[in-house]
Homo-oligomer: A and B are copies of this chain.
């Protein structure tokens, strides 16, 4: 534990010593179990979270009751979009749920505001994080509007697969991630199976031909 958590965040490692101290003193490491709602609409965000371990899933509840997956925050990233609402005292319209057990640094509003004022490096860190998230949102919109479901599913499967090329997710979960219906996922996966690209079993998908999936993704405009 000799190395500070600060060095886990690329943009922060250049902070001058006094700011580092203030950041460490003015923040606190928190742990939350999987499934916890980290922030929710109608609830003012009081902390900026910097993820040390685990992932947080950010989604929006639709007026119609359903949910859209927006993005996922990984270790080393931050829930920076909530800060807009921290400082503007507005409600955040999306909710965040810990997908796994999560360890994170919580920076309270006062500390955050103070650091943004004092430190150009911190400011750049914050705005860079914004920039990345917003680009992600743009890419998401692009995806939804223009890319075919099979391509998006293939892409997501590749992204979610573990070292053994297995994706642990039900069809319903995958549908939810892509903002589509479970039936569509089932049908598309059947098609992938027919082509010999995947094997299926309850609650998981085994990718038997990553190359083919990658080719499908690549063959129609690229996105990670």
Q: Which residues of A contact B (CB under 8 A)?
A: 60, 62-64, 66, 68, 70, 81, 83-88, 90, 93-94, 113, 116-118, 120, 123-124, 127-128, 130-132, 134-135, 137-142, 144-146, 179, 220-223
Given contacts A117-B120, A222-B63, contact A93 B128 (CB under 8 A): no
- What is the bound-complex CA distance between A56 and B123, given in angstroms? 27
CB <8 Å contact, A68 and B116: no
Cβ contact of A123, chosen from B68, B87, B130, cutoff 8 A: B87
CB <8 Å contact, B138 and A141: no
CB <8 Å contact, A141 and B141: yes
CB <8 Å contact, A142 and B68: yes
A-B contact pairs, 29 of them (CB 8 A): A60-B142, A62-B145, A63-B142, A63-B222, A66-B146, A68-B142, A68-B145, A68-B146, A70-B138, A84-B127, A84-B131, A85-B127, A86-B127, A87-B123, A88-B127, A88-B130, A90-B128, A90-B131, A93-B135, A94-B138, A113-B123, A116-B116, A116-B117, A116-B123, A117-B118, A117-B120, A134-B134, A137-B141, A144-B144
CB <8 Å contact, B81 and A141: no
- What is the bound-complex CA distance between A135 and B92, given in angstroms? 8
CB <8 Å contact, B137 and A137: yes
